Chain A
Amino acid sequence: MDKLTPPVSGSRYSVIRAIIITWMTLVILGAFLLDIPRMNILEHTARNLYFHVPMWFTMMSMVLVSGIYSARHLASGSRITDIRARESARVAAVFGVMGLITGILWAKFTWYSGTSVWWNSDPRQSMAAIQLLIYGAYFFLRTTIDDNEKRGRIAAVYNLIAAATVPFLLYVLPRQMESLHPGADGNPAFSEITAPIMRAVFYPAVIGFIAIAWLLYRQRVRVAILKENLTSD
């Protein structure tokens, strides 16, 4: 088998990495130091907007990357696309778990303070949970197939079938469940409750977290390529 070429890892990469780390440091400083308008129930936890919400954005962007690489794997059959689909799914799952746990913690000490509610079947919460179940099944499926080439192909098919059904949840869930999230029926839209100063931190935070996910993903891809090249001889 021919060697896979790792992604180029030169000085340009170290510059990008330095920029991402500086960017994220500034975002965290801004998140804690900038004054925000006071809101009932939320109080300072409104700052969680900068941390909890980008988890969801990051997960969905990695899900998208994973779906694209699964499609490309079926089209080309090259090993590298399978590795990329697998590793982006893994990063998406990590960010999904972090989004769920941070959401539970946030709601527990604001809206559900003093109650025994941990899980309320919020549409977005449910969707993230279902996406995690799908990735659980995806990785489990991968462990049951021994042949490398077949494993990539079958897993890609499952990933794409799942990707075709998940968007339905965007339509179905909000109709049948109550939501705490802005924009859902009755709740104020995102732009109404968010002061301009918060948006100035929020959007950079989304970009920063996606960039961090990209760093983690790229690391995993490099490790995976190294492993493939070492074990295939």
Chain B
Amino acid sequence: MRLHSGRTSWLRATVSVFLKDTRIEWRSRFGINLLVLFVLSSVFILVFALGQDTVERNVIAALYWIVIIFAATSSLGRSFISEEEGGTVLLLQTHVPGSAVFAGKLLFNLVLILIANVLASLAFTVFINATIANWPIFVVIVVLGSSGLAGATTILAAIIARTGNGGSLLPVLLLPILMPLLLSVVHAMIAALEPGSSWNDVGNDIATLVAYAGTVVTASVLLFDFVWKD
């Protein structure tokens, strides 16, 4: 019972899932508000916890990505639970190919994580006095890191939507899987904060991040139907 077939209509289905989520988000602004408040309050906790001493670059890099990862677990975990609660699962299952649902959700989650990154980088600059010395490196690792994070979060959000007790499960499942991403993204982030760093310093990390995002997204697309279909 697929209405769409062929590549163009797969793209159209993906975009329509993405637009549907965006429109729902635009109406309630629940996810965005949650994200803004989460990032701001966790940055303020850091401000008070760190005190007024200058913070080392490696600490800033680690804290930055911890904030991003927890912002993702707290606000993206709902992406499939909301379909389950709204009773729209069956509708999507019958009308849209599974991979298009996954791709649409992935896009939407990626946009949310990128927004969280913009917010967090502003908040870190203003409140923790972190200086991003190398903007090109920073932008590249944020985009790559966010893609891997979005891939892992989206498939796990689909998994937890099928379990008994929803969102609380996500961090437990997500964090061990994110370890390779966290290690390389923090390593690259230290280089981005360091004046005078070059692309050579982050070559390995960028390769790892690309491979990680590619692997996770490919595995998720291949496995998504087993989670999505009954």
Q: Which residues of A contact B (CB under 8 A)?
A: 74, 130, 133-134, 136-137, 140-141, 144-146, 150, 153-154, 156-158, 160-162, 164-165, 168-169, 171-173, 175-176
Contacts and interface: CB of A to CB of B under 8 A. Distances in A.
7 contacts: A74-B223, A140-B169, A141-B159, A144-B165, A146-B164, A161-B219, A175-B204
Nearest to B172: A137
Interface stretch (B81-89, B98-106, B136-144, B178-186): B178-186
B175 interface: yes
B183 A172 contact: yes
A219 B230 CA distance: 32
B169 A169 contact: no
B220 interface: yes
Contacts of A137: 172-173, 176
Given A153-B226, A157-B223, A162 B176 contact: yes
Contact of A161 (B177, B184, B211, B230): B177
Interface string B191-230: 0000000000000100010011001100110010011001
A187 to B, nearest CB: 20
From B176, B180, B227, name the one whose CB has the most chain A CB atoms within 10 angstroms.
B176
A141 B163 CA distance: 8
Contacts of A154: 159, 162-163, 226-227
Interface in B117-137: none
B155 interface: yes
Contacts of A74: 223, 226
Contacts of B177: 134, 161-162, 165
From B159, B164, B173, name the one whose CB has the most chain A CB atoms within 10 angstroms.
B173
B57 interface: no
A145 B169 CA distance: 12
A146 B164 CA distance: 8
Nearest to A140: B172
A134 B176 contact: yes
From A136, A153, A165, A169, name the one whose CB has the most chain B CB atoms within 10 angstroms.
A165
Contacts of A161: 152, 155-156, 177, 216, 219-220, 223
A162 B174 CA distance: 9
Given A137-B176, A144-B163, A154-B227, A160 B219 contact: yes
A154 B216 CA distance: 16
A45 B82 CA distance: 56
Contacts of A171: 180, 208
Nearest to A149: B230
